[in-house]
Structure 1
Amino acid sequence: MRSYLDFEKPVAELEAKVEELRALSASDGVAIGDEVQRLEGKARDALVALYANLSPWQKTLVARHPLRPHFAAFAAGLFEEFTPLAGDRKFGEDEAIIGGFARFRGESVCVLGHEKGSTTETRIRHNFGMARPEGYRKAVRLMELANSFGIPVISLVDTAGAYPGIGAEERGQAEAIARSTDACLGLSVPNVSLIIGEGGSGGAIALATANRVLMMEHAIYSVISPEGAASILWRDTAKAQEAATNMKITAQDLLKFGVIDSIVKEPVGGAHRDPEAAIAAAGDAIAEALGSLADLDGPSLRRARREKFLAIGRGL
Structure 2
Amino acid sequence: MVLTLRVDADTVSRTRFSPSPAAESLAWLKLAAASGRHPVFGDPGPLARASLAHPDVALLADLLPRDGDTYTPDLLTPQPGTDTQGRDLLDAQIAQIEAAAQDDLESQVFHYTRTHWSRPLDTETRRVAESGRMQRRLANGLARFWRDTLADGWPDLRSILDQDIAHRATGIATHGIGRTLGTLHPDIAWSGDAVTIEKTWDGEVDGTGRDLVLAPGVLNWPDVIIQVDTPGQLVLYYPAQRVGTGRDRRSGNLAQVVGNARAAILADLETARSTAELAARLGYSPGTVSYHLGALHRARLVTKVRDGRYVLYQRTARAAGLLEARD
TM-score range, shorter chain: under 0.3
> TM-score of the superposition, structure 2-length normalised?
0.27
> Structure with the greater relative contact order (CA < 8 A, sep ≥ 6): 1 or 2?
2
> TM-score of the superposition, structure 1-length normalised?
0.27
